[in-house]
Structure 1
Amino acid sequence: MAAITEFQKVGIGLMGFGLFFLVFGVLFYFDSVLLAFGNILFLSGLAFIIGFRRTAHFFFQRHKFRGSLFFLGGVALVLCRWPIIGMLVESYGFVLLFRSFFPMALGFLLSVVNIPFLSSFSSNSSSMV
Structure 2
Amino acid sequence: MFQPTESQKIGIGLVGFGIFFLFLGTVLLFDKGLLAIGNILFISGIAFIVGLRRTGRFFFQPNKCKGSAFFFGGVVIVLLGWPIVGMLSELYGFFLLFEGFFPFVIEFLRRIPGVGRMLNLPWIDRFCEKLIGDNYREQRGRKSV
State the shift of 1:2 in Å: 3.5
Aligned-residue CA RMSD (Å): 1.6
SS in 1 for 2:99: coil
Gaps of 5+ in 2: 122-145
Q: Which runs of 4+ in 1 moved over 6 A?
A: none
Counterpart in 1 of 2:124?
A: none
Residue 16 of structure 2 corresponds to residue 23 of structure 1: no
Cα deviation 1:87-128 (Å, max 9, x = unaligned): 000100000000000000000100112xxxx48xx59xx8xx
What runs of 5+ residues in structure 1 fail to find an aligned partner? none
The corresponding residue for 2:61 is: 61
Question: How far off is 1:83 after superposition?
Answer: 0.2
**TM-score under structure 2 length normalisation:** 0.78
CA–CA separation in structure 1 for the residues paired with 2:48 and 2:4: 12
Aligned residues: 118
Matches within 5 A, 1:1-129: 1-113=1-113, 118=114
Give the letter aligned to residue 105 of structure 1: V
Offset of 1:3 from its aligned partner? Answer: 2.3
Instruction: State the alpha-carbon separation in 1 of the partners of residues 100 and 2 from structure 2.
Output: 25
In 1: Cα distance, 2:4 partner to 2:87 partner = 31
Corresponding residue number in structure 1 for 2:143:
none
